[in-house]
Amino acid sequence: MKALISTFVLFAAAMPGIAQTPAGKPASPVAEAAAAKAHRQTFSDAGKAALAKSKEVAAAVRRLRGPERVKALEGAASAYDGVVAAFPGEPAVAAVAAITAADLWRQQGSLPLAEKDYLLAAQLDAPRYGQRALLGAGDMQRRQKRLDEAMATYAKVVAIDGGSSRAQDARLWQARLLQTMERIDEAIEAFQGALETADPGSETVEAANFLALCWIEKGDLDAAGRAIDHAEQAVGTMGEEDPIVVERLKKALEGMSAKKALQRARDKHNGAAADAIRLEAARGK
């Protein structure tokens, strides 16, 4: 995980337009907004017209289903890719086209093409699309089973703005990938880190749930129980007055998959212990 932290800092320093503090950490939201505003470029009339024309092509997708929808998504994504190619001298126009094409390719199922456009959007307009596009690229790499590359890309997402919801998603995916690779101790450490950076609401519930499941896989049921307890205590001390939010968080707590998994694991453990006792008693007769 230390290597990942180093990657965060190195990437953030290399990304153009990303405001940094002297320590290499992302600057405040105000500083980042100022950097994004300074970086923003105007759209030419030709660029606006090209984007508008591609938007018309994409609008037809909403009315379609099945194979026709897939074909229409391909056409819309290709239209936006055409805008990228036609406006190499206008990064602002090309970036909008690239991120939109990436989302369309993602829906269409062409993961490599989506990844390519996400990475291009991050390169063309880092202040506006860097984090969003890199998170998308990491997702595409993960879904293509290129796990090491996805880990590195998620690290870049966190480096840009560690306090954002996208960074939290990236942390959880890093931890889940470590778990998939059967690096359980590292996964537990990563989930714990994600829990520590989570907000006290839904993010805490989600991170605690994953952490508890990982502890269950490792076989430490007491630690899993503590993770669940942490989520319940964090939500209970929020002091949230909005009844809709309160109800949503209660449902999230009740729906934690780790609760049922922990109960099954405990039942299995207790059943095995009971079987052992009966076996020893039978041998003593």
Residue 26 DSSP code: B
Q: Where are the alpha helices (DSSP H) in 144-256?
A: 147-160, 165-180, 184-197, 202-218, 221-236, 243-254
Is residue 225 situated within a structural domain? yes
CA-CA distance, 11 to 170, in Å (whole number)?
Answer: 15
Distance in angstroms (rounded) separating the CA atoms of residues 123 and 167: 18
Bridge partners of 26, per DSSP, are 20
**pLDDT tens by residue, the chain, 285 residues:** 433 333 333 333 333 333 333 333 444 454 455 445 544 568 899 999 999 999 999 999 998 999 999 999 999 999 999 999 999 999 999 999 999 999 999 999 999 999 999 999 999 999 999 999 999 999 999 999 999 999 999 999 999 999 999 999 999 999 999 999 999 999 999 999 999 999 989 999 999 999 999 999 999 999 999 999 999 998 888 776 688 888 899 999 999 999 999 999 999 988 765 555 555 555 655
First CA to last CA distance, the chain = 54
Does 236 fall in a domain?
Answer: yes
Helix, strand, coil percentages for the chain (3-state, nearest 5): 80, 0, 20
**253 within domain boundaries:** yes
- Inside any domain, residue 283: yes
1 part of a folded domain: no
Domain tally for the chain? 1
CA-based nearest residue to 24, from 14, 32, 15, 12 = 12
Q: What pTM was estimated for this model as a whole?
A: 0.79
Whether 5 maps to a domain, the answer reads: no
DSSP 43: P
Q: Give residue 242's domain range.
A: 198-285
Is residue 28 included in any domain, yes or no?
Answer: no
**For the chain, what is the total number of helices (H) and then of strands (E)?**
14, 0
Residue 8 in any domain: the answer is no
